[in-house]
Structures are given as structure tokens and as C-alpha cells.
A and B are shown apart, each in its own frame.
Chain A
Amino acid sequence: MIGTILLLAVLICGSTFGEIAMTYGMKAIGEPARLRPKALLIFLGRAVCNGWFWVAVPLMALSFYALLVLLSWQPISFVIPASALSYVVGTLGAKYILKEDVNAARWTGVILVCLGVVLVAMG
């Protein structure tokens, strides 16, 4: 049980901090000038040269690996609802690390999505 809780923590923290690092990197390089193939390719080229991208990728890979191991230990009807907690952790990270303005409507939406994912995954 302790192993499951630890891996769940790795899964949630890995995905949250990985995505926060990715957001930080993408905000740092700025949005593409146009949503056209050439501008998007230039944007993606700049993205993979950004250090935050390479912080994000291993964290997301670690989270994915934790998910695979968890799925081999526990039923999917436990793993996916439990990992839905990442919506709440991610929103806290967005508010306190990325300094985003998370108002009451956004918090309510996030909690509803989180509960919805739990119910859908439970089948």
C-alpha cells in the first residue's frame, strides 16, 4: 500500500511539475507568430532548444512510467480516479508557481472535471 501511495505521488507530482515546466518554457519562448505550418515548425524548433522543455520531458516520462507500474499493480478503476487528483494539484501549481489568476469559476470547473473523471473511470 505504501508503494502504491508513493508511486501515485510520483505520478501526480511528475505530471504536474513536468507540465508546469513545459508551460514555463513555452511562455518564455512566446507564442508562434501565426498558426501556419512554417511558423509552427519554427516555434517547435525553438521549443526543443529551450531548457525547460528538457526539464519537462524527463518528469513527464517518469510520471508515465509510474502510471505503467501502477496499472500493473492496481486495477484501472482505482488508478485513473486516484490520478484525477492531479487536476487539483496542477491548479494549485498554476496558482502558486505560474501565478495564474485562478478565480472561483475556474476552481469550481476544475473540481467538477475532477469528480467527473472519477465517475467516468469507475464506469
Chain B
Amino acid sequence: MASERRLRIKTLVMVLAMVVCANVGDLMLKRGMTQIGAVKIAPNALAHTFVMTITNATIWVGILFLIGFMASYMTVLSWADYSYVMPAGAFGYAILTLLAVVFLHESVSPRRWVGVLLICIGVLLVGQTKPNTTSANEMQKVSA
């Protein structure tokens, strides 16, 4: 059915947007905080860190990506099941491991590879199911 196919494609696109935005956002925050340096727990040092944080461009890029994650997460939940989106989001763990191997040349233990394989099989299994099993969104579509 064409509408079923369209539903699957738009759900896949939004889940991918979620995973990419979350991972890039976390990476940017990590890079930004590394530029700032280790945070010291003292009133003056914390105030200094706060100023450094809000004036760091990399941190803002990270925050923008995390806002993108939240927006795509909220959007996909408006039509897809929570029990469909939640496990699909775990695909990020698999992507992060692959990125670590390809770009950072990190060595990955066999146990971690088994974990990645289980996540991929799990996401594929969930992906086979119908993305939306409730009818609430059908009744309350935005007409604008």
C-alpha cells in the first residue's frame, strides 16, 4: 500500500535525523568542552567555565544539533509508536562504533561487535513491524 510505504519512509528519515543529530550534537559538546578544558569545582572557576561555555561556537553548534534531535524526535512521535521509535534510536550505538573504527581507527572488542550485531538485528526486527498501531493521529491530523 502506498500510504504504508510513505509512512515507513518518513519514519525512517526522521529516525535517521534523530540519530545523526544526537550523535553529532554529543560529539560537538565533547569537542567544545575539550577546548575549554577540565572544569574545576569552585565558585569563580564555575562562573568562568559558564562564560567560556556560552561563548564557545562549537558548544552552540552542538546545542543546535541537540535541538534538531528533540524536534525530529517530537515530530516522529506524532505519528509513529513510541515502542517503534525508542529501539530504532539505539541504532546510534552501532553507528558510533562504526565511526570510531573507520575515522578514529579505534580497536573494538569482539564483545562490542556482538553488541552492535544484536542492535542491528533488533532494529531490523522492530523495523519490520507496523510503525503506527494506534489510530489517535489519524483522527487529529493538522489540517493546516
Contact = CB atoms under 8 A, between A and B. Distances in A.
Interface of A: 19-20, 22-23, 26-33, 35, 39-40, 42-44, 46-47, 87, 90-91, 93-95, 98-103, 105-106, 108-123
Contacts, number: 166
B86 A87 contact: yes
B110 to A, nearest CB: 10
B13 to A, nearest CB: 8
Contacts of A102: 83
Contacts of A117: 90, 93, 115, 119
Size category of the binding interface on chain B: 35 or more
B17 to A, nearest CB: 10
Contact of A119 (B78, B112, B137): B112
A95 B81 CA distance: 10
Given A44-B71, A44-B74, A109-B122, A23 B129 contact: no
Tell me the interface secondary structure of chain B in the complex: helix
A40 B71 CA distance: 9
9 contacts: A23-B82, A26-B74, A106-B83, A108-B125, A112-B125, A115-B115, A117-B90, A121-B115, A123-B109
A95 B83 contact: yes
Tell me the interface secondary structure of chain A in the complex: helix
B90 A116 contact: yes
Given A110-B122, A120-B115, A100 B134 contact: yes
B144 A33 contact: yes
A33 B87 CA distance: 26
A123 B112 contact: yes
B102 interface: no
